[in-house]
Structure 1
């Protein structure tokens, strides 16, 4: 009987600890820096500014120097249109002036479609931007891509206006 009780206690202990090792896959990591307001000074720590001037090569310098840090896409598309090319040309010029800066290109989608579809679409959008910047002389070794799919909307809403702002790729210069 003692052997049976010991075995039962051991099985119960293993079952209890197995539940503790389970990681929740539906939790997202903290919001990326691209969600911050460029003008926010936060806690007063250095964010690439010296007085009123941005430090060359900093995130603040990037946001002041380029037309935008993001480009937008049509529904179910990852084609870089003329408007996006103008924004990406300004980004490429800045990146070529600052050859030591590495960037992350985030691909995003609107809320429609499955999670898997939107992750794949966000990936194609990020890669389209990377490929365009590479065609303008930016080394691919300086760029990494990530897809957030529909997980990180820029705007909450369930209409075309919100969806249009969420179909995007964002070039993020680290702090």
Structure 2
């Protein structure tokens, strides 16, 4: 079994970029919506890192994005880092086995991730705390997933550039 080398500077750049997107999304993102669906690009970092670099980077970005989610969003504390960690590992493993490292795979992973996050939010927070309607929540979830997948190039392009820069080392 070959041991994988982890690039600390690359992961720090990924995390720094995610923090910048988080700050922009937290401050300006709530004012922008497309047909009532809000832009949420933060989960795309987990999908991009896992797709381009594998399960180790997917897990690292998963924990970082999960902590940012816990800091900035309403929900059950501690669930997001675990969810994103698991998603990063599974997506990174899939990228090694079946998925190609291209933008179409990124869109599929991002959409799937957003749907899973929506289901997690619904069953862990919205249903028990507020008794929210499944149909209305899923309408928002699927609309948000489509919007996220369509705009995921805003994350994929810089992450791919960082990944390529550190690939030759």
Is this a same-fold pair by TM over 0.5? Answer: no
Give the TM-score taking structure 1 as reference length. 0.32
Give the TM-score taking structure 2 as reference length. 0.32
Indicate the structure with greater strand content.
1
